[in-house]
Amino acid sequence: MTALTTSAAAAQPAASRGPRPAARGPRGRAILYWIATHALAVALSLMFVGPLVFVALTAVMSNDQALTGDLWPRAWNWSNFADVFARSQLLAWLGNTFLYAGLGTAFMLLSSIPVAYAMARFRFRGRKLAFLAVITMMMLPPQVVAVPVYLIWARLDLTGTLWPLILPMLFGDAFSIFLLRQFLVSIPREYTEAAKVDGCSDFRTLVRVILPMARPAIAAVGLFQFFYCWNDYYGPLLYAHTNEANWTLSLGLASFRALHSVQWNLTMAATLLVMAPVIIVFFFAQRVFIEGVTLTGVKG
C-alpha cells in the first residue's frame, strides 16, 4: 500500500507538467538563421530608410503638427505638394536640372569614352604619365581653380547661366575616364585584333565591338555623372545664383527652405519632390549600375 502511494505521488507532478513542447521545426530554425545572418543588413537598412520615411510623413502633416514631436500625421494633407508648386518655380528648376544633368552626362560620355579607349588599348609614349595626370585630376578639388575658371567664363559673358558647368564636360571627366579605362583593360585584346583583321578601323572597332561589351561600365559612369549633376549645389551657386531663371533644384530648394523655414511640412514636401526622380531612376537602373560598378575593378 505504501509503495503504491509513493508511486502515485511521484507520477502526479510529472503529469501536472503537461505535454512536453514539440521540437522547433525546420521553418522556425530557418527564420532564426535568416535573422541572425541578416541582422546587420536590416539594421543598416532601417538607418537609411528611417530618414526617408520621416520626410515622407512630415510632408503630409499640417503646419502645426509638423512643429510637434508627432511622428504620424493626424490628417493627410496632400495639398502640401500643390502648395509647393504654387509657391515656387519648381517646374522651371526641374527643367534646368534635367538640362544640366542630361547634357552634362551626354557630353561626358562623348568625350570620356574615346580617351579611356585610347589609354586602355593604344601603346604610345607617355601613356603612363597621362594616366597619372588623370588620377591627379581626380584628387584636385574644384575649389582650387574656381577663381581663374570663373574669370574665364566671366570674360566670355556666360556667368549667370549653366553653360560654364555643361561645356567643360566636352573635355572629359577624370573619374569617368578612370573607371572606363579600368573596365576596357579587362576586355581581351583578341576581340579588337579580330575586328582589325576583318578590316575595321579603330573608330569602327570602338563603336561596333567595344561599346556593346562596355555597356555596364558606360551605364555606371553615366549614372554617376547624372546623380552628381542632379545634386550639385556648389556649381549652380557659383555661376547661376544671380539669375533665378537658371536655378537648379538644389539651389532652388535651398532658397525655398530659407523662405519657408518655419513651415517644415512644405519644406519636406519640396525635398520629397526633389528626391523622387533620382530614386525612380536608380530603382529601374540599379541592376546595371551595380553590375557596372562591380566590373570596373582596378586592373593594371
**pLDDT tens digits along 173-207:** 999 999 899 888 888 888 888 888 888 888 888 88
Q: Is 136 in a helix, a strand, or coil? A: helix
pLDDT of residue 92: 92
Q: What distance in Å separates the CA atoms of residue 232 and residue 101, rounded to the nearest whole number?
A: 9
**Confidence at 87, pLDDT banded by 50, 70, 90:** confident
Task: Give pLDDT, residue 102.
Answer: 94
Average pLDDT, the chain: 83
Nearest to 81 by CA among 273, 295, 277, 248: 273
What is the pLDDT at residue 167? 94
- Residue 2 pLDDT exceeds 80: no
- Answer whether residue 154 shows pLDDT above 90: yes
Give the tens place of pLDDT for each residue, 28-79.
Answer: 778 878 877 888 888 888 888 888 888 899 899 988 888 787 888 888 889 8
Grouping H, G, I as helix, E, B as strand and the rest as coil, residue 21 is coil
Q: Check whether 24 has a pLDDT greater than 70.
A: no
Q: Are 294 and 217 in contact (CB under 8 A)?
A: no
Residues in contact with 174: Cβ distance below 8 Å, sequence separation at least 6, in sequence order: 134, 135, 137, 138
CA atoms of 99 and 220, how far apart (whole Å): 20
Cell of 24: 522547433
> Residue 164 corresponds to which cell in the numbers above?
560654364
Closest CA to 145 of 156, 153, 155: 153
